[in-house]
């Protein structure tokens, strides 16, 4: 196909996620192999406002597939939220002669991309944008999976397994806070995988007696002498949860907030492979002249969806997984 696309930009924005580098690599390699020039925009949307960019070729992305973080840096730009900020970004796009931009990040990143593309269209010009979902929260409505989630789950799992050793030795209760300000996917998956005593997630209204006290009591009755409570960041303060456990059950829990450690580290095979496929598909979408799309996974397949429609989609919470978790934690084993 003789594509009209001659030069594209690629950027990472919002919270970083392991596998972002693999996605950048896939975008750059897919583009350059088709004779399309690639420009890396640094520090998210602010890079487009401040003309902070770097020309990229195949060798610029060598040896990054295995690296966490993002070589393009990332940021959240308030200025880009305003039409005046986007006007500056449009000027940079013009200066660079960009036909399209691949944005790697979360919902906020894609909303920014759509606003930019629309503002360009108002001038009777065209700038296609394509989004690649990457966030450890796995909370993007249109995609079953987001890059970084698997790595974050495995990082949390490794930490909690270590905690379990010492909790078991001292016959203690541990309250571990995992990331997820608005989403409980990480807590849910990790909770199942570590065999947690109780898991707290923001999607479910907390009933402390039912969700924590009763579960620890049952475990105790079944003969367990150590307890692991996994709480998503958005379900409440881990310290307050620990204090309430102390008040209700007379035990003295130890609190661990895993924090940003969950956002780093070498991406797992799943994240590298998904990022590579999504990056390839993003460039293909631009080459085919399809504007404003989000690359998503649907039952393991990679698909591209209209960006506006995709942004309106809500992810229904995985109640079946929660039910499994409930029945396994209720057993008291
Ligand atoms: O990347 C998503 C996320 O990890 C959320 O779960 C968390 O609340 C947030 O980012 C924190 O990000 P930051 O500290 O960069 O504001």
Domain ranges of the chain: 7-148+267-311, 150-264
Could you report the per-residue pLDDT of 218-229, keeping only the tens digit for each?
999 999 999 999
The stretch 147-158 carries a mean pLDDT of 98
The continuous run of DSSP H or E covering 282 comes out as helix 269-287
Fold of 150-264: Rossmann fold (3.40.50)
**Which residue has the least CA distance to atom 12 on ligand 1?**
15
User: Which helix (H) or strand (E) element contains residue 199?
Assistant: strand 198-200
Ligand 1 geometric centre to CA of 214 (Å): 31
Arithmetic mean of pLDDT, 302-329: 90
CATH number for the 7-148+267-311 domain, one of 3.20.20.10, 3.30.460.10, 3.40.50.300, 3.40.50.450? Answer: 3.40.50.450
Span from the CA of 315 to the centroid of ligand 1 (angstroms): 19
Ligand 1 atom at minimum distance from 16 CA: 1
Nearest CA to ligand 1 atom 13: 15
Query: Is the pLDDT at 2 greater than 70, yes or no?
Result: no
- The pLDDT value recorded for residue 16 is 98
How far is it, in rounded angstroms, from Cα 42 to Cα 24?
A: 12
Please indicate whether residue 137, judged by its CB atom, sits closer than 6 Å to ligand 1.
yes
Rounded average pLDDT over 238-252: 97
Cα(124) to centroid(ligand 1), Å: 37
pLDDT given for residue 1 in this prediction: 52
Distance CA 219, CA 171 (A): 12
Q: Which of 179, 184, 261 to mutate to test the pocket of ligand 1 (most atoms within 8 A of CB)?
A: 179
Q: Is the pLDDT of residue 135 over 60?
A: yes
Q: Does the structure show a pLDDT above 80 at 108? A: yes
CA of residue 258 to ligand 1 center, whole Å:
12
**Nearest ligand 1 atom to alpha carbon 15:** 1
121 CA distance to ligand 1 centroid (A)? 32
Contact 271, 151 (CB under 8 A): yes
**Among candidate residues 199, 178, 156, the one with its CA nearest the CA of residue 257:** 178
Section 170-198 average pLDDT: 96
The answer, yes or no, to whether any atom of ligand 1 lies below 6 A from the CB of 13, is: no
pTM of the model: 0.96
Q: What percent of the chain has pLDDT over 90?
A: 92
Q: Which atom of ligand 1 is nearest to the CA of 179?
A: 6
Instruction: Kindly indicate the confidence band of residue 241, based on its pLDDT and cuts at 50, 70 and 90.
Output: very high
Q: Is 106 in the pocket of ligand 1 (CB under 6 A)?
A: no
Do the first three CATH levels of 7-148+267-311 and 150-264 match, i.e. the same topology? Answer: yes
| Predicted pLDDT of residue 244 | 98
Q: Is ligand 1 within 6 A of the CB of residue 140?
A: no
What pLDDT shows up at residue 331? 54
Average pLDDT, the chain: 95
CB 26 within 8 A of CB 279: yes
Nearest Cα residue to atom 10 of ligand 1:
15
Q: Mind listing the pLDDT tens digit for each residue in 68-91? A: 999 999 999 999 999 999 999 999
**What is the pLDDT confidence band of residue 326, given thresholds at 50, 70 and 90?**
confident
The region of weakest confidence among 58-67, 99-108, 174-183, 318-327 is 318-327
Q: pLDDT per residue over 275-297, tens digit each?
A: 999 999 999 999 999 989 999 99
Query: What pLDDT is stored for residue 122 in this prediction?
Result: 97
Q: Enumerate the H helices of 58-206 as residue ranges.
A: 83-96, 107-121, 149-170, 185-194
Question: What residues are labeled active site?
Answer: 137
pLDDT for position 295? 98
């Amino acid at each position: 196909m003789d594509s009209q696309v001659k030069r594209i930009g690629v950027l990472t924005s919002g919270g970083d996620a392991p596998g972002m580098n693999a996605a950048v690599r896939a975008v750059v390699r897919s583009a350059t192999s088709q004779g399309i020039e690639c420009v890396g925009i640094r520090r998210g949307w602010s890079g487009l406002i401040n003309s902070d960019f770097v020309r990229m070729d195949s060798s610029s992305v060598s040896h990054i597939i295995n690296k966490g973080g993002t070589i393009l840096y990332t940021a959240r730009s308030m200025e880009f939220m305003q039409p005046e900020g986007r006007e500056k970004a449009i000027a940079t796009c013009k200066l660079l002669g960009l036909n399209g931009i691949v944005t790697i990040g979360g919902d906020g990143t894609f909303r920014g991309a759509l606003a930019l593309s629309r503002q360009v269209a108002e001038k009777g010009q065209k700038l296609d944008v394509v989004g690649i979902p990457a966030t450890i929260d796995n909370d993007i409505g249109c995609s079953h999976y987001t890059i970084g989630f698997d790595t974050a789950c495995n990082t949390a799992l490794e930490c909690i397994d270590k905690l379990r050793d010492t909790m078991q030795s001292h016959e203690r209760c541990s309250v571990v806070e995992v990331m997820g300000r608005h989403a409980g996917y990480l807590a849910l998956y990790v909770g199942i995988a570590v065999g947690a005593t109780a898991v707290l997630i923001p999607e479910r209204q907390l009933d402390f007696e039912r969700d924590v006290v009763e579960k620890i009591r049952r475990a105790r009755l079944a003969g367990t002498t150590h307890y692991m409570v996994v709480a998503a960041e958005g379900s409440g303060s881990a310290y307050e949860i620990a204090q309430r456990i102390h008040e209700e059950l007379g035990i003295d829990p130890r609190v661990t907030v895993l924090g940003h450690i969950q956002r780093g580290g070498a991406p797992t095979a799943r994240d590298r492979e998904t990022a590579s496929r999504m990056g390839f598909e993003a460039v293909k979408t631009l080459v085919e002249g399809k504007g404003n799309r989000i690359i998503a996974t649907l039952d393991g397949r990679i698909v591209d969806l209209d960006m506006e429609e995709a942004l309106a989609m809500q992810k229904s919470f995985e109640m079946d997984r929660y039910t499994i978790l409930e029945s396994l934690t209720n057993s008291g084993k």
